Every structure is written in structure tokens, then in C-alpha cells.
């Protein structure tokens, strides 16, 4: 058996096409959605992610506002930039690119974001709403990677309700909120949230109908661990040296041999990454639509 590829590039394109129509409608009502990014320091990975987000915006007709601070910025500099983004009416949503350089207070930065403009869904108020399951009128942004994972599974009609999901990794942006999302009413999965102190990771992965690997350990997830037919989503990223060319390249958490056991495989790159970016755009459009009805 060879797994069906969960194609993040194609799925993100479909999401973006739908968003473009909503953006046109917003503009007809005099609102142009705008995404702000705050990038601190000169990490090449972060730079390239932020550049990608601005390209995405241009593609769908979202205005983008870019704020860059040097690696020498202080917590007060970061706070001042956040206050400006909060006050700027052209910014309907924005993100503070993580991680911040060592020594800066990430929690303080996330907390300073206006929750109504939080395009990442990582403000404590919005994470709290995820815990509370508040939807409808007040509905708030979901963290982009978890939202992208669920969106992709749904668009491929992979069953979630009643299924067992094993999430590998408990980080703020993926694992922890993903457990909350999958167990929400309406999705109704059973979740095992694993981490570096999990005693028998192989056994936890073996019971899963859906495996999400988000730890950043290259090729950690082995084919012998996978229940035949399971959906496997590779989210982790490690920069490694290509043995033949000596060049740096990106490698996921999932051993490529998993493709011969899994029913569905979301590759990395080309899987959840593009979906994360599409969900960021979606959060910005949602926020602009909510602002219209307030």
C-alpha cells in the first residue's frame, strides 16, 4: 500500500481561492484586510517565513504591513512596536514571529497583542476561548497550525469523530492547542498528547488512527509504529546537511518509509506548512469580517 498524499500546497490554494472571494466582498464594503508581521532579529528561517507570508497576502489581495526590529531590540522596543500595530487601523490582524531572540519575553509580547487582532490565536484570551469552546458570535482565532491540520483532514474526508489521535509534541503553537481542538464538540476525537518524557512512544503511536508529529526530531516516527491505514501528518522541521551535496535542507519528523504503511501522509515540506499560512490569512479575513459587524 502507498499512502494518499495530503497535499498542503493544493489544499492551501483551494482555501486561498475561497478567501479571495471574501476579500473582494470586504473591499466592496470599504474594508481592506491587512496583515502585520513583527520580526525581531535576523534568523534566516524566520526571515524566509515572514517573506512567505507577505507573498501570500499579495496573492489574495490582503495588504501587508511589515515591522522589523534588530536583534538588539529590548522588551520595551518590542512593546512599542506591538502598541503601534494595535493602534494602526490598516492592520486588521498581525503576528509576532516566534521565537523571539534569546532574552526577550515572549509571554509578555503575546499578552500585549490586542486579542481582536491576534492572527495567530496565541493571545491568552484566545487560547482561553479555545479551552472554553467559545464559538459563534464571539468566535475567536484558532492557532494556525492546528487549524490547518484539521482543515486538511476534513477536506480529504479523513474521519475524525471517535478516532484516536496521537500528538507527538506539546509545544505552544502545535501540540498543546491541537489536543484541545481535536477533543472539541463536533470533532470528538480521543487524544493522547505525548512528549519527551513519554515512556513508550511507539505504543502510543501504534494505537493512533491519526498521528501528528511536531517535535523537530528528524525521522523519529518509524514505519513499524504506524497502524496500517492511519493518517500521518509530519509537522516537525529540522535543518540537516544533505550528505551528497553538503547543502542544508529541511527534514521532517516522519521516516519516509512510513508511506508504505500509512493510509494518508502529509509530507514535509508540502503539507501542513502551506496550510498554516493559509489559516493565518483566514484568521485575518475573519477578524476583518468581525470588525465589520461590531
Ligand X SMILES: Nc1nc(=O)c2c([nH]1)NC[C@@H]1CN(c3ccc(C(=O)N[C@@H](CCC(=O)O)C(=O)O)cc3)C=[N+]21
| Binding-site residues from annotation for NADP(+) | 169-171, 237
Sheet with 4-5: list strands edge to edge.
4-5, 264-266, 231-234, 210-213, 164-168, 190-194
Residue 33 or 274 with smaller CB distance to ligand X? 274
The secondary element (H helix, E strand) that includes residue 281 is helix 272-293
Among positions 210-269, residues that touch ligand X (CB under 6 A) are 250, 268-269
Binding to ligand X by CB under 6 A, coded x per residue (else -) over 44-73, reads ----xx--x---------------------
Among positions 114-153, residues that touch ligand X (CB under 6 A) are 120, 144
Yes or no: say if 118 and 61 are a contact pair by the CB < 8 Å rule.
no
Contact between 95 and ligand X per CB under 6 A: yes
CB-based closest residue to ligand X = 273
Report in angstroms how near the CB of residue 235 gets to ligand X at its nearest: 9
Closest among 94, 77, 76, 75 to 85, alpha carbons compared:
94
Active site (annotated) includes residue 53: yes
Contact between 29 and ligand X per CB under 6 A: no
* Ramachandran quadrant class, 41 (left: phi over 0; alpha: psi -120 to 50; beta: rest): left
Contact between 101 and ligand X per CB under 6 A: no
Residue 48 or 72 with smaller CB distance to ligand X? 48
Of the residues 56, 120, 209, 286, only one is catalytic, namely 120
Tell me the DSSP string of 93-144: EEEE-SSPPTTS-HHHHHHHS-GGGBTTS-SHHHHHHHHHT--GGG--PPPH
List 11, 97, 140, 282, residue binding ligand X (CB under 6 A): 97
Of the residues 16, 53, 117, 163, only one is catalytic, namely 53
Question: What's the DSSP call for residue 154?
Answer: H
Residues 6+ apart with CB under 8 A from 18: none
Q: Which cell goes with 279?
A: 489559516
- Rule CB under 6 A: which residues touch ligand X? 48-49, 52, 95-98, 120, 144, 250, 268-270, 273-274, 276-277
Looking at the annotation, which residues are catalytic?
53, 97, 120
Amino acid at each position: 500500500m502507498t499512502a494518499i498524499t495530503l497535499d498542503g500546497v493544493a489544499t492551501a490554494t483551494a482555501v486561498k481561492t475561497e478567501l479571495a472571494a471574501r476579500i473582494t466582498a470586504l473591499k466592496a464594503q470599504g474594508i481592506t484586510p491587512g496583515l502585520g508581521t513583527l520580526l525581531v532579529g535576523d534568523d534566516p528561517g524566520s526571515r524566509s517565513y515572514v517573506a512567505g507570508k507577505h507573498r501570500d497576502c499579495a496573492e489574495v489581495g490582503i495588504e501587508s504591513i511589515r515591522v522589523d526590529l534588530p536583534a538588539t531590540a529590548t522588551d520595551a522596543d518590542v512593546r512599542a512596536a506591538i502598541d503601534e500595530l494595535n493602534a494602526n487601523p490598516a492592520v486588521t490582524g498581525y503576528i509576532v514571529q516566534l521565537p523571539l531572540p534569546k532574552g526577550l519575553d515572549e509571554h509578555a509580547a503575546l499578552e500585549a497583542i490586542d486579542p481582536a487582532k491576534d492572527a495567530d490565536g496565541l493571545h491568552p484570551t484566545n487560547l482561553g476561548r479555545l479551552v472554553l469552546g467559545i464559538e459563534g458570535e464571539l468566535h475567536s482565532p484558532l492557532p494556525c497550525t492546528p487549524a490547518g491540520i484539521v482543515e486538511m483532514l476534513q477536506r480529504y474526508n479523513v474521519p475524525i469523530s471517535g478516532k484516536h489521535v496521537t500528538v507527538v509534541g506539546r509545544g505552544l503553537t502545535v501540540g498543546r492547542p491541537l489536543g484541545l481542538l481535536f477533543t472539541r464538540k463536533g470533532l470528538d476525537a480521543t487524544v493522547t498528547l505525548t512528549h519527551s518524557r513519554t515512556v513508550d512512544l511507539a505504543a502510543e503511536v501504534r494505537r493512533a488512527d491519526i498521528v501528528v508529529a511536531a517535535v523537530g526530531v528528524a525521522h523519529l516516527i518509524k514505519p513499524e509504529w504506524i497502524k496500517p491505514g492511519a493518517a500521518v501528518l509530519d509537522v516537525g522541521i529540522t535543518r540537516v546537511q544533505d550528505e551528497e551535496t553538503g547543502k542544508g535542507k529541511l527534514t521532517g519528523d516522519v521516516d519516509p518509509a512510513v508511506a508504505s504503511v500509512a493510509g494518508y501522509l502529509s509530507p514535509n515540506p508540502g503539507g501542513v506548512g502551506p496550510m498554516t499560512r493559509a489559516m493565518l490569512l483566514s484568521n485575518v479575513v475573519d477578524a476583518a469580517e468581525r470588525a465589520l459587524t461590531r
